[in-house]
Amino acid sequence: MKKLCFNPFFILGLLIRLALIVTMAPHPAIDWYVPFLDITTTHLSVDPWAVWLKAGGAPAAFPYGYVMWMVFLPLVFIAKLMGFPLQYGYQLTLLAADFVLLDLFGN
């Protein structure tokens, strides 16, 4: 993994990915996932979907379970505390998952 991380093509790909995180926003993330995470990080609850629906959110906004919700919470919560767009927390979580998968299955 260390050898791969210092490969110039890997670094170039990582820089491109980071640039895309900052400059582009996928519609489902902006329209559904990030608002769901915003509401549910503001009002932590045992049932975040009930909180979301009570706030007027669409039922299809975050069709994943508790594990996915808990995976996204830390970086979204940090982005919220630091005043960054929550989209960054969402997309950096996906990037972290890519690194974990690369480490697990990259060899």
pLDDT of residue 25: 84
Q: Each residue of 25-69: pLDDT tens digit?
A: 888 899 999 999 999 988 888 899 999 999 999 998 999 999 999
Helices of type H across 43-85: 48-54, 66-82
Mean pLDDT, the chain, integer: 91
**Per-residue b/e over 52-78, b at no fewer than 16 CB within 10 Å?**
beeeebeeebbeeeeeebeebbebbbe
Asked if 90 and 68 count as a contact pair (C-beta separation under 8 A), the reply is: no
Q: Each residue of 72-81: pLDDT tens digit?
A: 999 999 999 9
What dihedral angle (degrees, nearest 10) is formed by the CA atoms of 78, 83, 85, 87?
A: 10
Q: How many helices (H) and strands (E) does the chain have?
A: 7, 0
Q: What is the amino acid identity at position 107?
A: N
